[in-house]
C-alpha cells in the first residue's frame, strides 16, 4: 500500500549504507579511496557508488532519474518496500518505485553496456548506487588495494568523488596531419582548458565532432588516454575512406 512502512524495519536500515558516510574532500586527500565508477545512462554521466554494504539492490536518486528523462508514469511501485532509512540524511527516504523498462548502463572506461532496474529514491545524495548482491550476480569484484573493479576479467579503474562528475573540454589538433586511406595514425592534441589551468589533467576519452565524422575520420572505440600538465595527449585517428585526409 502506498505510504506504508515495510514490516522489517531493521532490514531496511541497511539498504542505503552509502548514505551513512559523510564524503569530504579531506577524506579523499588523506586516504585516496576510490569507490566511484564512471557510468552513462541515456546519455547522462555520473559516478556510481560501488557499495558492497548495500545488501538490497541498485538504487538511483530521483534527481538523476529526472535528468535522464524518467517520470512518475515510467515507474512501477515496489509492493514490499516503500521507505528506506538514511543515517546521513537523518530521515526515512521515500522509494518511488522502479523503472518499468530496464535501463542500459554504459561504462565510460570501455563502452560496455549492462542492464539494470534500480529502485528510485527521493532525497538520496548520490546519483547511483551499485549494490553488493548486484555486483555478485554480475561477477564484478571490488579490488580495494588496486582502486578498481574486475569486470569480465578486466580491471576497470574507479575514481575519487571529486573526479566522478565528468567534464567536457574542447580538444584541438596541434599541427597539420595527413592520414592515408584505410589506415590509422596517432595525432597529438591539446586541451586548452588544462593548459590554461581552468581544469586539472587526467584520464579522458576523445570524441570527434559530427563534421569530422562525416568526413570519414573516427577514433578507436572508447579509447582512454592521459593528459599531462600542459594539456597534451595523443589520440588514435582512423581514416575509413579510400582517400587521404
Question: What are the CA-CA distances from residue 167 to residues 37, 44, 163, 223 (Å)?
Answer: 15, 12, 9, 16
Domain 9-164 class, CATH top level: mainly beta
Report the candidate in 111, 113, 106 with the shortest Cα–Cα distance to residue 48. 106
Q: Which residues pair with 94 in a beta bridge?
A: 83, 122
pLDDT for 35: 80
pLDDT for 233: 86
Pairing of strands 103-107, 113-116: antiparallel
Domain ranges of the chain: 9-164, 172-239
Q: What is the pLDDT along the chain (245 residues), one digit of tens a residue?
A: 333 334 444 333 333 333 333 333 333 344 456 688 988 999 888 889 888 778 889 999 988 899 899 998 999 998 776 666 554 445 678 899 999 999 999 998 888 999 999 999 988 878 899 999 999 999 999 888 888 889 998 888 888 764 555 555 678 888 888 899 999 888 888 888 666 665 556 666 777 777 888 888 888 655 666 777 788 888 888 898 999 98
List the grid coordinates of 215. Answer: 568526413
Report the candidate in 192, 180, 185 with the shortest Cα–Cα distance to residue 227. 192
* DSSP code per residue over 29-78: HHH----EEEEEETTEEEEEEEETT--S--EEEHHHHHHTT--GGGEE--
Q: What is the CA radius of gyration of the chain?
A: 21
Amino acid at each position: 500500500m502506498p505510504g506504508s512502512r515495510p514490516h522489517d524495519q531493521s532490514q531496511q536500515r541497511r539498504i542505503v549504507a552509502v548514505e551513512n558516510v559523510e564524503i569530504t574532500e579531506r577524506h579523499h586527500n588523506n586516504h585516496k579511496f576510490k569507490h566511484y565508477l564512471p557510468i552513462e545512462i541515456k546519455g547522462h554521466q555520473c559516478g556510481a557508488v560501488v557499495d558492497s554494504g548495500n545488501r538490497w539492490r541498485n538504487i538511483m536518486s530521483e534527481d538523476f532519474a529526472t535528468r535522464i528523462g524518467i517520470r512518475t508514469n515510467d515507474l512501477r511501485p515496489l509492493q514490499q518496500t516503500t521507505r528506506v532509512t538514511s543515517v546521513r540524511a537523518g530521515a526515512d527516504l521515500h522509494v518511488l518505485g522502479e523503472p518499468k523498462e530496464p535501463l542500459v548502463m554504459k561504462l565510460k572506461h570501455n563502452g560496455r553496456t549492462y542492464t539494470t532496474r534500480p529502485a528510485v529514491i527521493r532525497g538520496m545524495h548520490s546519483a547511483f548506487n551499485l549494490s553488493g548482491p548486484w555486483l555478485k550476480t554480475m561477477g564484478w569484484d571490488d579490488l580495494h588495494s588496486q582502486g578498481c573493479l574486475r569486470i569480465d576479467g578486466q580491471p576497470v579503474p574507479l575514481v575519487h568523488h571529486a573526479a566522478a562528475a565528468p567534464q567536457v573540454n574542447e580538444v584541438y589538433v596541434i599541427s597539420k596531419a595527413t592520414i592515408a586511406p584505410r589506415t590509422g595514425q596517432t595525432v597529438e592534441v591539446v586541451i586548452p582548458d588544462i593548459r590554461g589551468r581552468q581544469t586539472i589533467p587526467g584520464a579522458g576519452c576523445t570524441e570527434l565532432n559530427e563534421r569530422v565524422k562525416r568526413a570519414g575520420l573516427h577514433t578507436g572505440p572508447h579509447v582512454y588516454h592521459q593528459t599531462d600538465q600542459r594539456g597534451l595527449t595523443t589520440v588514435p585517428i582512423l581514416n575509413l575512406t579510400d582517400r587521404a585526409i
